[in-house]
Amino acid sequence: MAQDRIGRYRIVGRLGSGGMAEVYEGFDDQLNRPVAIKGLLAERSSPERRERLRREALSVAALSHPAVAHVYETVTEGDRDWVVMELVAGKSLAEVIVGGALAATEVAHIGEQVARALAAAHQIGIIHRDIKAENVMVAEDGHVRVLDFGLAKWTRPVAPAAGKLTADGVVVGTARAMSPEQAMGRHLDNRTDIFSLGSLLYELAVGCSPFRTATPLETMYKVARVDFVPLRRAAPQLPKALVNVIETCMKRDPADRFASADALADALHAITHPVNGRAPARRPPRWLPLEQWVRRFWWVPLILGLVALAFTLAKR
């Protein structure tokens, strides 16, 4: 990029780019803080995509949650639009799991934070629609930030975001991160995000996506059928409680999933924070060593019995 400033922000360097957008690290000299600046690639800009970027800014600005990266402002320069947001120092979950599957407690802890962020979004009528490892950052302090509300769907009438950008039956999103109803272009509600989060937790617990195949079309077919290796086989070391939570999220019928993101978050919290009054693990009974001794030396009582019988007969 030729320019060295966007609005009042000084460009420090390029953080990355995707199919539609690019992100720069900037610095706000007035407030003395680093920022992330996201904009559409010049060759991919269109009225619809510019509107999506604007709605992404509106979606995030409407949220006030510690697990959602904050939006500071939007900047328009010529025919290009930019969203200026919090710069999160850390790694995406996609980078984290390159090293392999995460520990069960870490999976549950990350999942709870993401679920709480989704609950806050759902409460104000926003469905994320693209929960995946690339869109969740783990900050240096261990807390997560949910990013990229570019495909967010508003389920309530909101004046600044009125109107639909996606026609009925049109599929948008990342194939491996979709819910079955999303892959088939059906009506979506908050439970689509719950399925996607379940897929993400599976990926963190196993080290690979439950649905990824050679092509997006094949992946969507697997998602639509909910065709994945059960966790008891893919990760037999996982605690049963976490297996149940993840596979409940990934039920094909939305009615069989958690009813809300808050309910999911509570279930994950219970895994990492067991109730104090929980019954302790059962101890072996005091007589177990004797029982084991008898099983091992079963012949001793038999001999003692025969000796007693012989002694009794000898006295007669």
- The set of catalytic residues is 130
- The full 3-state SS of the chain, as one line of letters, equals CCCCEECCEEEEEEEEECCCEEEEEEEECCCCEEEEEEEECHHHCCHHHHHHHHHHHHHHHHCCCCCECCEEEEEEECCEEEEEEECCCEEEHHHHHHHCCCCHHHHHHHHHHHHHHHHHHHHCCEECCCCCHHHEEEECCCCEEECCCCCCEECCCCHHHCCCCCCCCCCCCCHHHCCHHHHCCCCCCCHHHHHHHHHHHHHHHHCCCCCCCCCHHHHHHHHHHCCCCCHHHHCCCCCHHHHHHHHHHCCCCHHHCCCCHHHHHHHHHHHHCCCCCCCCCCCCCCCHHHHHHHHHCCHHHHHHHHHHHHHHHHHC
